[in-house]
Amino acid sequence: MSQSQKNKETEQLFAEIYRKHYSELCIYAMRFLKDEDESEEIVQEIIFKLWEQREQLETVNSLRSYLYRSVHNRCLNYIKHQLHKDKYSEKAYIEMKKLELESAEDYNNKELEEKVHSAISELPDRCKEVFQLSRFEGKKNKEISEQLGISIKAVEANITRALTSLRGSLDKYLKVELIVLFAVILRNII
């Protein structure tokens, strides 16, 4: 293959990475970082790194999982770094973010998403409103309390209530998931 042909193929591959994966990778990073710019920067950096190593691209098996894995690790590093800069180094917080990040490798659970969305529609009005402002619009508790004219305590209480209720309605589904997981583990052992 000629060099220019190879260059063109690499260029097309990267355009495709942006077209197919950029947005979803940023959304994934937003789970842990909350900050849009920071998320975009991390994703850009990862794709640029990939470009720098483009000669070894053939050795990357699944590009998508590789990209997710990288975003995942970067986010973890970023969180650690942030907390390090912050002189109140919160070990507990890092530990929990780490747990969360580790369990969140299942980044594309469409079934759970659908279940959760239908469970949200069953929530009581005020509770639903608070939860949606928090999750869909990314509002802080303080902003929600100002917008709805309720106390911060009430916002917190509604979020707890929503989580309790969502856990309740998803209990069966989550249990089934665990049983399936168990069966898989068992099969692997036997």
Partner 1 sequence: MEHLEIIGKYLTEESTSQENESLLSWINTSPENKNEFLETCAIWHATQIKKTSFDYTKAYNTFSQRIQETKTTETKVVELQPKTRSLWTKISIPVAAAMILAAGLLYLYRPTNELHTFANTTNSVETVKLPDGSVAYLNKSASLTVPSEFTSNTRPVSMNGEVYFEISKNKAKPFIISVGTASVTVKGTTFNVAYDKVKELCNVIVNTGTVVFAAQNNNRVTLTKTEKGTLDLKTNTVTESINDDLNFMSWKTGVLVFKNSSYKQVFNDVERHYGITINYPSDIDSKLALTATFDHQNLKSTLNVIELMFNVKIEKQNSIFVVRK
Q: Which residues bind partner 1 (CB under 8 A)?
A: 8, 11-12, 14-15, 18-19, 22-23, 26-27, 30-31, 34, 36, 40, 43-44, 47-48, 51, 88, 90, 92-93, 95-96, 99-100, 103-104, 106, 109, 112-113, 115-117, 120, 131, 134-138, 140-141, 156-157, 159-160, 163-164, 166-167, 170, 174, 178
User: Within the chain, what is the greatest distance between any pair of CA atoms?
Assistant: 67
Instruction: List the one residue out of 65, 80, 72 whose CA is nearest residue 100.
Output: 72
**40 or 129: CB nearest partner 1:** 40
Tokens standing for residue 26: 């940023």
Shortest Å, Cβ 133 to partner 1: 11
Closer to partner 1 by CB, 22 or 66: give it: 22
| Residue 36 beta carbon to partner 1: minimum distance, rounded to whole angstroms | 7
CB 26 within 8 A of CB 43: yes
Tokens encoding 40: 């975009």
Q: How far apart are alpha carbons 26 and 68 in whole angstroms?
A: 10
The CA distance from 153 to 159, in Å, is 10
Nearest distance in Å: CB 154, partner 1: 13
